[in-house]
Structure 1
Amino acid sequence: MTMNLDQYFIKQQPYYRPVADEVELYEAAYSVRMPMMLKGPTGCGKTRFVEYIAWKLGKPLITVACNEDMTASDLVGRFLLDVNGTRWQDGPLTIAARNGAICYLDEVVEARQDTTVVIHPLTDNRRVLPLEKKGELVHAHPDFQLVISYNPGYQSLMKDLKQSTKQRFGALDFNYPQHDIEVEIVAHESGVDRSTADKLVSIAERARNLKGHGLDEGISTRMLVYAGSLIATGVSPTAASRVALVRPITDDPDMRDALDAAVTTFF
C-alpha cells in the first residue's frame, strides 16, 4: 500500500556547509542502509544536515519531533473511528518503512524507552516493523533508512539511550563549527556582513566556555543566525544579541550580566 510522498520531498537545496567528511560517510552508510545516529548539541546543524542529505539523495524525509508523551502508536499507527466504523492509520515510521523514505527521529531520547523499542526490528538485518494491533508485519522498502539524533551533553543518565538501541546505529558526532566556518554560516544564513558574523561567533564562543559553569547549554549556531537576522533588519547589535542570545539561555542575573558584558566587548 504505497502513498504519494510528494509533500515529504525537499524541493530546494538546503544550505549546509560540510565541516569534515560527514557527507561522504553518511552517503556510504545510506548505500548499505545503515541506521544512523547524529549526536551533538542543540542548534548545531543536525537537522539541517539530514535535510541536505535527503535532498542530495533525492529521498523523501519524514521527521518526527520526539517527546516524553509520545507512544509507540504515535510512531507506528492506530485504529481510528470514523463514520464507517474503524480504520487503520499508519504512523510516520510505518509510512516511511512502507514507502522507502528516510525517517528522522529528532531528540529520540525524549521518547519513552518502551516507545524506542519498536524501532529495534527495523534496525537490524530483519528490517521489519510488526504492527501488533493490526496483526501485520511490514517489510521495510529497500530505500528506507532510520536516522535518530540526540544531544548527549544534555541528557541525564535516566534519559540516555539503552546500549541495545545504540549498538544498532552508526554514529556521527556534530559540534559547533570551527570559528571561520561558523562565521561563514552565520553570514550566509542571516544576511549580515562577515565582520558582524565574526563578532557574533566570538560572543558565542565566550558563552560556550561557561557551559558547566552556570550555563546548561552554550549559544547555538541557530541562535547566532536569529541574532544576525535581527541585525540585518536594522535592530542594534546589542539589542539583537540580548533578545536572541542572552535572554533565551539563562535567567540568572549574574550570568546575564557576564554575557551582556561579552556582547558590549564586541559591539
Structure 2
Amino acid sequence: MGNTMENIDTSTQHEVKTVKEVFDTTSPFFEQMKIKVFPATSHTPVVRHFKFKESSLTRLMLWAAAANLPAGFFGAEMKRNMYTYGPSGCGKTRLVEAFASRTGRPMFREQCSKETTLSDLFGSWKLCGKDQGMKWVYGKVCQWAKTPNAILLLDEWDQVPADVAMGLNGVLDGAPIHLDQTDEIIKIAPGCMIMATGNTNGRGSAGGQGGSAAIYKGTQKMNFANQDRFNVMFETYLTEEEEIDLLKSETRANPLAAKAMASLAAKIRANFIGLNEDAGANGMAFQFTITTRNVLNWSMNFSLLTQMGKRPEDAYVEALRMTVLDFASKDEASAILATWSTIMGTTSQP
C-alpha cells in the first residue's frame, strides 16, 4: 500500500479584497467582485507594476473561480485549467506572474521544451553527494501539488511532446499523483491552479489573425485529449496607446518619444508573419517582430545613450539596433529603418 499524503490547507488565513483594489481596475464589470488574497511566500512572484486588460482579467477571474469551486458544485465537471497563447514577448508569462503577485499565490514555473520529460515534471532520483547517496527530488508538478493555493505555470507548453503532455492528463483532471518510484500518492492541495502558455493555438496557428506557427521552431500540434482539458485565452501585444502609457510609466520616456517608439512597434507587428495571415499586405512581410519587452529596453537603452552624450537622433537608431534590430535580416532592417525615418519626419522631434 502506498503512502498517501493528505495535504491540509494550512494557508486558509487570507484577506478578502475587492477586485478593483487588488488589480487596480476601473472597469464597472468588477465593481462588486471580491477575491481572496493570501500571505505571500518565498514562491510568490514580485511584480510591482502591471496593467490588466479587462478581457484578460475577466478570464483570469473565471479561471480562479472554476479552480476553487467545491466538488459537485455543478452536476458536470468543469474545466479548471487555462491555456494562454500569443506572440512571443507579448506578456503571457508576466500576466500569470502579476496575477500570482497580486493575490499572494505561490507559483511554480516549469520551462518546457521538446526535451521535457515526465521525470522533469514529476521528479527523479538524483545523486546528492557521497554521504547522502541517491535522493528523490520532486519536480515542479509535485512541489505545486503539495502547496495549497499555488499556481503551476507550464511555460511553452506547445513545445512538449504529445506523449509527455498526455502524462499530465490525470493532474489536469484533479486526480491524485501516483509516484511509482517512491510508492507515494500525493493528493493535490486545495486551491491549486494550472496555467499553460504557448505561442500557438495548439492546432498549427500562431495568432488570432491566422499567423504562421512555422516562425516558432519546435512547436507541435497538441493532442486533442490534452488540449480539451484547458479553457483558452489569446493574448497579443498592447495597443499603441497602451504601449505609450507603459513606456512613460516604466521607462520615464517623454510623451513624444513614447509615441514614436510605439508607432514603429505597431507597424512592425502589422507585417509579422507570426501574428497576421495577411502580413506584408502593406509592405514587406517580416519573420521578425519587436516585443513589448524589447520596446521597453529600446527606450531604456536610448535613455542611457543620451546620458552618455550621444545625439538623440543617433541614440534612437543605435539603441534600436542594440536591443533587437541587429537580429533582423538586412532587408528587414533596412525596411524598418526607412519606416523609422518616416515616423521621425512626421512626428515632432522628441
Tell me whether the two structures share a fold, i.e. TM-score over 0.5.
Answer: yes
Task: Give me the whole-angstrom Cα distance separating, in 1, the residues matched to 2:213 and 2:324.
Answer: 22
Please list every run of 5 or more consecutive structure 2 residues that lacks an aligned counterpart in the other structure.
8-39, 68-79, 201-205, 207-211, 274-279, 307-314, 345-350
Within a 5 Å distance, the mapping from 1:1-267 to structure 2 comes to: 6-10=41-45, 12-33=46-67, 34-82=80-128, 83-100=131-148, 101-124=150-173, 126-152=174-200, 153=206, 155-156=213-214, 159-212=220-273, 213=280, 214-235=285-306, 236-248=315-327, 250=328, 252-267=329-344
- Equivalent pair of 1:79/1:88 in contact (CA under 8 Å): yes
**Paired positions, count:** 263
Please list every run of 5 or more consecutive structure 1 residues that lacks an aligned counterpart in the other structure.
none
Task: Give me the whole-angstrom Cα distance separating, in 1, the residues matched to 2:116 and 2:255.
Answer: 42
Task: Give me the whole-angstrom Cα distance separating, in 2, the residues matched to 1:84 and 1:254.
Answer: 58
Kindly provide the amino acid, as one letter, of the partner of residue 61 in structure 2.
E
Kindly provide the amino acid, as one letter, of the partner of residue 9 in structure 1.
T
Q: Give CA deviations for 1:150-193 in whole Å, capped at 9, x if unaligned.
A: 01116359712221111111111101122101111122222212
- Equivalent pair of 1:119/1:129 in contact (CA under 8 Å): no
Task: Give me the whole-angstrom Cα distance separating, in 1, the residues matched to 2:144 and 2:293.
Answer: 28
**1:168 to 1:198, Cα distance in 2 relative to 1, 3 A:** same
The residue that corresponds to 2:36 in the other structure is none
Local SS of the residue matching 2:177 = strand
Task: Give me the whole-angstrom Cα distance separating, in 1, the residues matched to 2:265 and 2:160.
Answer: 30
Task: Give me the whole-angstrom Cα distance separating, in 2, the residues matched to 1:194 and 1:132.
Answer: 59
Kindly provide the amino acid, as one letter, of the partner of residue 253 in structure 1.
K
Q: How far off is 1:217 after superposition? A: 4.1
Q: Give CA deviations for 1:6-54 in whole Å, capped at 9, x if unaligned.
A: 43112x4432212223213212211221211111111111111101110
RMSD: 2.3
Deviates more, 1:257-266 or 1:44-53: 257-266
Q: How far off is 1:198 after superposition? A: 1.2
Task: Give me the whole-angstrom Cα distance separating, in 1, the residues matched to 2:293 and 2:87.
Answer: 11
Taking CA–CA contacts closer than 8 Å with sequence separation of 6 or more, which of the two structures ends up with the larger relative contact order? 1
Kindly provide the amino acid, as one letter, of the partner of residue 56 in structure 2.
E
Q: Give CA deviations for 1:118-163 in whole Å, capped at 9, x if unaligned.
A: 2211112x43223232232321101211110001116359712221
Local SS of the residue matching 2:300 = helix
Task: Give me the whole-angstrom Cα distance separating, in 2, the residues matched to 1:179 and 1:84.
Answer: 56
Local SS of the residue matching 1:172 = strand
- Equivalent pair of 1:44/1:175 in contact (CA under 8 Å): yes
Q: Give CA deviations for 1:199-257 in whole Å, capped at 9, x if unaligned.
A: 11111112112222442242111110110111121341111112224223x2x221111
Local SS of the residue matching 2:108 = strand
Task: Give me the whole-angstrom Cα distance separating, in 1, the residues matched to 2:107 and 2:84.
Answer: 15
Task: Give me the whole-angstrom Cα distance separating, in 2, the residues matched to 1:130 and 1:264.
Answer: 60
- Equivalent pair of 1:183/1:197 in contact (CA under 8 Å): yes
Task: Give me the whole-angstrom Cα distance separating, in 1, the residues matched to 2:132 and 2:111.
Answer: 31
Task: Give me the whole-angstrom Cα distance separating, in 2, the residues matched to 1:85 and 1:51.
Answer: 36
Task: Give me the whole-angstrom Cα distance separating, in 2, the residues matched to 1:103 and 1:217.
Answer: 30
